[in-house]
Amino acid sequence: RIALDTGNIEYATTSVAICISYLIFEGESLNELYLRYNDYETFLQQWPQQPNTNLLKAFLQTVIHLKTENERPEILIGEKINEENMIAEALEVKDYSQLASLFVNKFMLAFLFENYEEAQKIADKLGKWINNITNLLQYPIFLYYRSLLHLSLFHSYSPKQKFFAWQKIKTTRRKLKKWARY
């Protein structure tokens, strides 16, 4: 609201996208989120060229995929967004934080719907951009789900892979514990 009152539209749209992403990870009711998202989407349509408009639509598509049955829920193509177009646009303008946020959503969806092989592929791609969101909630969410993915696949790992996975799990656990304290 303050950003709108002062005319800082980019900050206002960024705030909306961040707010919505936090609500997903907080465990807000999917029906409630969908209604809120539609309100925010209507708000953002006033400024279609703002960088976070696509990101908000990606979050909305994520909610839709969580709510409905979908053969490939980690592929964010639907009524709100086409991830291929979003990725191309983000790469063109070098908006790597938007790419990382999109891929965290894709990773989370792949994991939640137990497509672990695809989740691993997405995590590998995400590695290029993850440092662009270390200041956002999506970063610890990614670390958390990555640890869960390692634990889910642990039985299929070689001894060497088990060692490295266990090291990543322990490091993530320490980080999350420290962040929870503060």
Q: pLDDT tens across 39-62, in order?
A: 777 777 777 666 677 888 888 888
What's the whole-number mean pLDDT along residues 119-146? 93
* pLDDT for position 181: 93
Confidence (pTM): 0.88
Which pLDDT value is given to residue 156? Answer: 94
Amino acid letter for position 101: S
- CA dist., res. 125 & res. 103, Å (int): 8
Structure tokens at 144: 């958390």
Residue 57, token pair as written in the block:
């639509």
Q: pLDDT at position 5, please?
A: 78
Structure tokens at 84: 């291929």
User: How crowded is residue 96: how many other Cβ atoms within 10 Å of its Cβ?
Assistant: 16
**Mean pLDDT, range 27-37, rounded to an integer:** 83
Give me the mean pLDDT over the 121-126 stretch.
94
pLDDT bracket for residue 69 (50, 70, 90): confident
> What is the average per-residue pLDDT within 93-117?
94
Quote the pLDDT of residue 50: 65
Q: What is the percent of the chain where pLDDT is above 90?
A: 52
Give the Cα-Cα-Cα angle 175, 117, 58 (nearest 5 degrees): 70
Q: What is the mean pLDDT of residues 144-166?
A: 96
- Euclidean distance between CA atoms 113 and 119, whole angstroms: 10
